[in-house]
Chain A
Amino acid sequence: MSLKDALFTPEEQERLFDHTFLQREQLEEQYASLEQQHEAAAFGMWVFLATEVMFFGTLFISVYVYRAKSPEAVEAASVHLNWMIGGINTLVLLVSSLLMALAVHYAGHGDRRRVVRLLVGTALLGVLFLCLKGVEYYIDYVENLIPGWKFNTQEWMAPKSAGGEGLSEEQVGFVQIFLVLYWTMTGFHALHVTIGIVVVLIMAVLTARGHYSAKYYTPIDVTGLYWHFVDLVWIFLLPTLYLLGTHHLTGG
């Protein structure tokens, strides 16, 4: 006996699950048309994304405020981050966004097979992004870029001739603030990617089970909006965290 059967009678299951979850091809009574129903759902996601814009916006402005306060420190810290993994991860997310957009496209044609493949591809690229992020975090750990846990003030204060950055004690404080923002922003972004992967996979399973059709695929479309937004945040994270200073081809 499944948990669902233990908790609900067949009549209740019919009312609670089958109608609300599986068969929304039918029009809900509060809407005038399927199109209006779809627009309402998409509108809800857009409003949620607007709140996300403000959430990430405050973190972005923090970076630029501290950059304005101490340009040398923030630029030096930015150059220490791994721009190569950051750049590759940008490409990974961009390609995943293409797959997601194509999944929505084919969902509109009712091409279930392609939709499932594209959604799984999107999720796999999301996983690849997280793996690369993990490698990057490990490199940051090895390079003493974790304030409060693994960070060496002397490395940053040593003169440039000795391989340091020649920063003052106050400037090293700004380096640490920048790095805390780096961990906070990439951490929250990774959390969003993780949630996205789970939702995209749920969409793949439901599509494979035949829950969506060319007539009704609103959840796939709305999931797409969320996934593209996560990509969009990373598009701004790349220049804001990794590209603030001048890189040099040899080392650094």
Chain B
Amino acid sequence: MAPEQSVKSYVAVLIALVVLTFATVAFSFLPLPGAWHVASGMLVGALKASLVVLFFMHAIRSPRITWCVIAVSIFFIVILFSLTLADITTRSLLPYMPGH
């Protein structure tokens, strides 16, 4: 396997993850419209997930084939989310036109 990470770097990743967890919970106490809570939750979640995948799952020093699997996973999850939400959130924009 490729050169490894130091113990210190693993601890640093954990500290970053804990700080982000406190940040995301604290954000839910701000009186903002619901969409902001969803956006912040997903953004912080994506950041934390990147840290876990890159360092804990050591994708950063994994072969290219691993990166292919990660890319394909992200590709399909983006399709699942974007197409579903594009449908659901825009249905009410069109008038109801039976027979057309």
Q: Which residues of A contact B (CB under 8 A)?
A: 35, 38-39, 42-43, 46-47, 49-50, 53-54, 57-58, 61, 64-65, 67-69, 71, 75, 83, 87, 90-91, 94-95, 97-98, 100-102, 104-105, 108, 224-225, 228-229, 231-232, 235-236, 238-240, 242-249
A38 to B58, CA, bound (A): 14
Residue contact B73 to A53, C-beta cutoff 8 Å: yes
Main secondary structure on B side of the interface with A: helix
Residue contact A97 to B72, C-beta cutoff 8 Å: no
**Chain A residues whose CB sits within 8 angstroms of the CB of B44 once the complex forms:** 239
Among A83, A97, A104, find the residue whose CB has the most chain B CB atoms closer than 10 A. A97
Residue contact B69 to A46, C-beta cutoff 8 Å: yes
Query: Known contacts A94-B18, A243-B27, A244-B38: does B80 contact A54 (CB below 8 Å)?
Result: yes
Q: Which of B53-100 contact A (CB under 8 A)?
A: 53, 55-58, 62-63, 65-66, 69-70, 72-73, 76-77, 80-81, 84-85, 88-89
Query: Known contacts A42-B62, A53-B73, A65-B84: does B29 contact A246 (CB below 8 Å)?
Result: yes
Residue contact A75 to B34, C-beta cutoff 8 Å: yes
Residue contact A235 to B73, C-beta cutoff 8 Å: no
Residue contact B45 to A102, C-beta cutoff 8 Å: no
Query: Known contacts A46-B70, A239-B41: does B55 contact A101 (CB below 8 Å)?
Result: yes
A22 to B13, CA, bound (A): 34
How many Å from the CB of A227 to the closest CB on chain B? 9
Residue contact A232 to B18, C-beta cutoff 8 Å: no
**Chain B residues whose CB sits within 8 angstroms of the CB of A68 once the complex forms:** 85, 88-89
Q: Chain B 40-52, CB within 8 Å of chain A: the 1/0 string?
A: 1110110011001
Query: Known contacts A61-B80, A232-B52: does B14 contact A243 (CB below 8 Å)?
Result: no
**Chain B residues whose CB sits within 8 angstroms of the CB of A49 once the complex forms:** 69, 73
Residue contact A98 to B21, C-beta cutoff 8 Å: no
Query: Known contacts A54-B80, A65-B84: does B29 contact A249 (CB below 8 Å)?
Result: yes
Q: Which residue of B lies closest to A39 (CB)?
A: B63
Interface residues on B, range: 35 or more
**Chain A residues whose CB sits within 8 angstroms of the CB of B37 once the complex forms:** 75, 239, 243-246
**Chain B residues whose CB sits within 8 angstroms of the CB of A244 once the complex forms:** 34, 37-38, 41
Residue contact B24 to A238, C-beta cutoff 8 Å: yes
**Chain B residues whose CB sits within 8 angstroms of the CB of A54 once the complex forms:** 73, 76-77, 80
How many Å from the CB of B88 to the closest CB on chain A? 5
Residue contact A97 to B85, C-beta cutoff 8 Å: no
A224 to B58, CA, bound (A): 10
- What are 25 A-B residue pairs whose CB atoms fall within 8 Å in the complex? A46-B69, A50-B69, A57-B80, A61-B84, A68-B88, A71-B34, A91-B18, A94-B21, A97-B56, A98-B10, A98-B11, A102-B7, A108-B1, A108-B4, A225-B57, A235-B45, A235-B49, A236-B49, A239-B38, A240-B45, A243-B24, A244-B34, A244-B37, A245-B34, A245-B37
A249 to B89, CA, bound (A): 32
**Chain B residues whose CB sits within 8 angstroms of the CB of A228 once the complex forms:** 52-53, 56-57
**Chain A residues whose CB sits within 8 angstroms of the CB of B41 once the complex forms:** 238-240, 243-244
Residue contact B17 to A94, C-beta cutoff 8 Å: yes
